[in-house]
Amino acid sequence: MTAHVSMETYYEKYRHREDGWKYELVDGRIEKFEKTMKLNQHYIANNLHDLFYSLKMNGKVEGSFTAEVDNELWKDHVRIPDMCYLNQAQVLDAYNGGHPIAEFVIEVVSPSDKMEKYKEKIRDYFKAGVKVIWMIYPKVKEVDVYVKGSSQMTICEGEMICSAAPALPEFAISVNDIFKKPEQPK
């Protein structure tokens, strides 16, 4: 059994390791995950960031959509979603030293990931107050959408629209657009 790891030790020894792994603190234990976003999958993040920033530029949303932000869910429990949304109040809270929990999180699932670990993450996120979770499966081009309070998960494929409502209702995109490949520069 591993020794209890404090939040301070986690941030000092594990959070910013550059060894190809992502470390999360789960009830005082370190959990090690393979970094999910492969270099050839960054286009997925780019497509989602493009959507968010086009909405922001048009005054339809505020806040921040970013990658790998620490979400201190409770004492000795830190999850790091691949991408997440913080509303404007949460951005200000973080700026002032707070630790807001994202309202909307996205995890990109790799073939080596174990679904049981993601089920634990989903439970943790909802327990901490996350409203919407997207699990993106690049290999099969599918997005599973979970909404807090709903007993159903929505499986999105092809032209189906994935929505981040109620956390971010304006953030809606087809699966095909999430997986739209980058174009060659002219």
pTM of the model: 0.82
Is the pLDDT confidence value at 174 over 60? Answer: yes
Is the pLDDT confidence value at 54 over 90? Answer: yes
Q: Which of 67, 81, 66, 72 is nearest to 26 (CA)?
A: 72
Q: Could you tell me the pLDDT band of residue 1, with boundaries at 50, 70 and 90?
A: very low
User: What pLDDT does residue 2 have?
Assistant: 58
Q: Each residue of 66-101: pLDDT tens digit?
A: 888 777 777 878 788 989 999 999 999 989 988 889
Mean pLDDT lowest among 10-14, 45-49, 52-56: 10-14
CA distance 51 to 172: 8
Segments of the chain assigned E as strands? 21-26, 29-34, 64-67, 71-74, 77-79, 83-86, 104-108, 132-137, 142-147, 153-157, 161-164, 168-174
